[in-house]
């Protein structure tokens, strides 16, 4: 089904955490928009050819909506160029974190992560993995049901399409959950016996994903604590945001996984 030779899932956790941290400490649109580009680049190089990789598009849409909503909040108060820009940048930060999470979802399989959870945290990890994958799986299911309907010449438009869509999607979800439960039971999950079947090694590719990401996060942490670069550009009056070359290089490090590429199958 899905090529799992790629990399250790922990490498992607490290990457996503680091990239998210970078987005968290700055409201500079230069760095944030570059993170969108980095996410897109990494997604393009590593997306898993499964339906849940479509979640990147889902999160991208969510990010745009988040930016728009956060900016629109200004209209509840006094509107000025300064506070509109401020809100927009705050929204952009939120959107960036969503896009990074979307990339993380598209390049790794949430169930791969469950295997790495310590024994005592197995059940929470399983719940988290299910929760993480429910949205992208539903999106994928909707696509599949629509394809099937189209092939049969059924064309329903608008609101009336909802029940026709929802019933098969929900039914599929139930079926999948059932299959998942059975297959996990068969592999000894939930009984305290942990499968050690095919442990995933830390490959060079995994190190190339994780190590530069840590370096990037450390650089931004140093800038945030040391204060040698402006991470929150002034919005009143609006000035051109600055771009520190060292911090740009750090963001470049986050794009390294995109250069490494995914092993061809």
Partner 1 sequence: MSTVATIVLRRPVAAAFVVVAALIPVTVPAVTGAAPACAAATGPHAALVIDTGAGVRSFCVALDATIVSGIHLIELAGAQDHLSYGFGSGGQAVCRLAGVGPQGDDCFSDYPQYWGYWHGDGHGGWTWSSSGAASARVGDGALDGWVWGSGDSGASHPKPPLTVIDDVCVPESTPTATPSPSRATPAAAAPSAGVRSSLAPNSPGPSNPENARAAKPSNEGIGKTSAPAGPPTAGALAAAPGPPPASAGPGPGLLVALVLGVALAGGGWLRIRTSRRGRSSA
Chain contacts with partner 1 (rule: CB under 8 A)? 27, 30, 33-34, 37-38, 40-45, 80, 82-83, 85-87, 227, 230-237, 239-245, 248, 251-252, 255, 258
Q: Check the CA dihedral 75-77-80-83 and report its sign.
A: negative
Minimum gap (Å) between residue 81 Cβ and partner 1:
9
**Contact present, 252 and 34 (Cβ < 8 Å):** no
Cβ proximity to partner 1: between 97 and 126 the closer is: 97
**Contact present, 18 and 254 (Cβ < 8 Å):** yes
Cβ proximity to partner 1: between 51 and 176 the closer is: 51
Minimum gap (Å) between residue 137 Cβ and partner 1:
22
Cβ proximity to partner 1: between 24 and 41 the closer is: 41
Cβ proximity to partner 1: between 90 and 176 the closer is: 90
Q: Greatest CA separation found in the chain?
A: 63
Minimum gap (Å) between residue 77 Cβ and partner 1:
10
SS3 assignment, position 115: coil
Cβ proximity to partner 1: between 87 and 132 the closer is: 87
Minimum gap (Å) between residue 134 Cβ and partner 1:
26
Burial (CB count <10 Å: 0-12, 13-18, 19+), residue 252: middle
Distance (Å, rounded) from C-alpha 41 to C-alpha 29?
A: 18
């Amino acid at each position: 089904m899905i090529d799992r030779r790629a990399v250790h899932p922990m490498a992607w956790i490290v990457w996503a955490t680091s990239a998210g941290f970078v987005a968290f400490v700055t409201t500079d649109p230069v760095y944030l928009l570059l993170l969108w580009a980095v996410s897109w680049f990494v997604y393009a190089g590593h997306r898993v050819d499964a339906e849940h990789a479509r979640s990147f598009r889902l999160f991208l849409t969510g990010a745009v909506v988040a930016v728009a909503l956060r900016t629109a909040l200004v209209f509840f108060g006094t509107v000025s160029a300064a506070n509109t820009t401020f809100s927009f940048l705050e929204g952009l930060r939120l959107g960036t974190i969503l896009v990074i999470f979307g990339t993380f979802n598209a390049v790794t399989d949430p169930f791969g992560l469950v295997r790495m959870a310590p024994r005592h945290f197995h059940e929470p990890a399983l719940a988290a993995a299910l929760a993480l994958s429910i949205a992208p799986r539903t999106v994928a299911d909707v696509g599949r049901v629509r394809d099937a309907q189209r092939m049969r010449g059924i064309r329903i438009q608008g609101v009336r399409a909802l029940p026709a869509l929802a019933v098969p999607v929900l039914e599929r979800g139930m079926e999948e959950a059932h299959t998942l439960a059975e297959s996990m039971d068969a592999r000894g999950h939930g009984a305290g016996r942990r499968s050690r079947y095919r442990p995933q090694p830390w490959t060079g590719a995994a190190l190339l994903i994780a190590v530069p990401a840590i370096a990037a996060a450390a650089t931004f942490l140093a800038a945030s604590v040391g204060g040698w670069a402006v991470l929150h550009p002034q919005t009143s009056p609006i000035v051109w945001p600055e771009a520190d070359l060292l911090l740009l290089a750090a963001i470049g490090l986050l794009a390294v996984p995109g250069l490494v590429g995914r092993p061809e199958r």
